[in-house]
Structure formats: C-alpha cells, structure tokens
Amino acid sequence: MEPNSPSNPSLKLQDYLKAWTESACDILKQATGAAFSAEFLPQEELPLLQAVAESGVWVRLAAAQGLTGEQAFLLPASDAVRLVQMLSKDAASKKKKSKTAKKASTDDSAEFTPKHRKALADLFGKFAAAAAKTLEDKLGGPCKLKVSGSDRPGWSPGAQAGFRLTCPKTLPILVGLHINKELASLLGGAPAPSQEQKAAGPQTNTAAPPQAQNAASPPAEEERPAANVNLLMDVELEVTLRFGESQLELRKIIEMNSGAIVELDRQVSEPVELLVNGTPIALGEVVIVNGNYGVRITETTNPQYRAALLAD
C-alpha cells in the first residue's frame, strides 16, 4: 500500500493511525490516571478481529471537515464493557468503598447495554476531537470527525488496521479500524470510488475486492484455525503468572547479590496477569491452594479472541 496520496501528500495513513492511537492513549490517561500504550497488530493477527465482527461492538465516525469519508471501530463486546467500566463513576465509587475493588474493578460477565453504547460513543467522540486537532497540523486547516452511528457498516473497507490498548490496570483491549475507500484514498489507501459508484450507492460485499471481502466474511481457509482448536482441546499449554516487571541497568544486574530487592511496576493491591504463550489472557488475585500459589480469575479476554489467538 503506497502511503502517499496525490490529493494530500502531507497526510499518510501511518500519520492518521498514529493520531488516533496517541489521542486515545492521552484521553484514557486523563480519565483513569493510568498510562496507556497502543500496539499495532501485525498483518497475520488481523483475523482476530474477524472472529468478533458479528458479535462485536461498532462505533462509526464520519469526516465532517478537512477530510471526506467514513471509518468504523470494532471492539469485542467484553472489551467494550471493560473499557466503559474503567471510566464509569460507579466503578470509581466502588473502588473507594472496597479495598479489593481495584483487583476486580470490572465485571467480565456483564452484558453490553445501551448505557454502555452511549458511554462508548461519548468516549470515541473525545478520541475523535483530539485526533482531529492533531491532524489539523498535517492538513494545514480545520478538521472535524464525529460519531455517526453504532451499526456495522455496509461498505467494504479500503484500508484496515488493528491495535491493542494496554495498561497495567486491565487486560489488553482489542480495537479494529475499518476505513472506507473514500477516506482511504486520501490517506494513500484504496482508490476513491468513481462518480458512477457513488451514484449507485454503497457497494455490497459480493463486489468487494479480496481484502475487503476477507474483512466482511472470511474464506474457508481462515476458518480452519478455529476448527483446529477443537482438535487440540486436550493439549496442555504452559501457563505463566506475572506479578510485574522492572527495568534494571546492566551494572545493577551484575552487582546483584543475595538480599537485594528488585521493585516491580505493580502494587500489591493490583491484579496479576495470567499468560499463555507470552500473551495475557486473564487477570486475577493470588491465592493459596493446598500450600501452593494459585490465582482466582477476576477478568478474562473474549473467548473467541482467545481461541483465534491460540490457534496460531
């Protein structure tokens, strides 16, 4: 994909994605006090988003000034609930009332409700305002992006990407981004639709190019990993419990001796991470079981996401 756009050579797809992820991390940090970071999914992991396309939560946005076109974000429902709960005033009040609330500040079993949908739309509206402000420097003029709906888009994407929002307080939050052809063409993505295509209305998925077709309905080849998981249900995997991390200078590592204390980046009251193949899949609190360490799960990732992740 050629990043430079003839109509707007100063704005690249990478710049656009960076504006969104940095804005999201800044807004979330302001709201929660926790440092967020964004990690883009490699191309081979994009099918993880296809696994939740039907059951996931969509947030659609339209370019109202400075740019033209639409885009849509996709989140697994459990991730959307967790994100909203992290920001809710109810969760904040519960943290004050309970010493253990910080360990289980979200309810992983909660269903995604209209109240959650409104809160998520408001949050992405703030993301959009911050991203638009960043993009104005590249565009050299005003830019406005606004939330336009919560239904799954009927158009085929001209460009797509995915990223994980991570912070020490919660499991990674998976986010997919679909950009329609009109907006993608301005960012160096797919060619803009012709006047005849615009007059004909939205294109159906049956006429979509291979990349867009895969995003809408994965071919049989991409359904095989999920089927393979059923064949491996009895295979044992190594599970790791991570209490925290720390960075040390080489000098301190070499000089380390018995009795030295290494401080981790996680407080005693914060949950620990459960990892499979190096990927966090759950959070929990440490318990003792028959004299051994154990973990009581308080928060998990989406089951379909876990299945697709472990199928690779």
Sign of the Cα torsion 190, 193, 194, 200 reads positive
Within the chain, what is the greatest distance between any pair of CA atoms?
Answer: 75
Q: Where are the alpha helices (DSSP H) in the chain?
A: 13-32, 47-50, 77-87, 89-97, 114-139, 181-186, 195-200, 210-216, 220-231, 250-255, 303-311
**pLDDT value at residue 161:** 94
- Range name among 43-52, 102-111, 218-227, 264-273 with the lowest pLDDT average: 218-227
- Contact yes or no for 135/19 (Cβ under 8 A): yes
What kind and span of H or E run contains 85?
helix 77-87
Domain boundaries, the chain: 13-219, 228-311
Hey, which of 91-105, 159-173, 197-211 has the most confident mean pLDDT? 159-173
- pLDDT value for 311: 61
| Other beta carbons less than 10 A from residue 184's beta carbon | 24
CATH topology of domain 228-311: Surface presentation of antigens (SPOA) (2.30.330)
Output the pLDDT for position 268: 83
Per-residue model confidence (pLDDT) at position 89: 52
Is residue 216 scored above 90 in pLDDT?
no
What is the mean pLDDT of the segment spanning 201-227? 39
pLDDT of residue 215: 38
Q: pLDDT (tens digit, 9 = 90+) per residue, 219-256?
A: 334 444 445 556 777 778 888 888 888 889 999 999 99
Q: Which residues of 268-292 are buried (b: 16+ CB within 10 A; e: fewer)?
A: eebbbbbeeeeebbbbbbeeeeeee
CATH class of 13-219: alpha beta
Per-residue pLDDT tens for 47-103? Answer: 878 888 888 999 999 999 999 999 999 999 989 998 998 887 544 444 454 444 344
Q: What percent of the chain shows pLDDT beyond 90?
A: 40
pLDDT top residue among 168 and 19: 19
Q: Which two three-digit tokens encode residue 181?
A: 């052809």
Residue bearing the bigger pLDDT, 152 or 205: 152
Tokens of 66: 């400075």
The pLDDT assigned to 169 comes to: 75
For position 7, what pLDDT does the model report?
Answer: 40
For 49, the 3-state DSSP assignment is helix
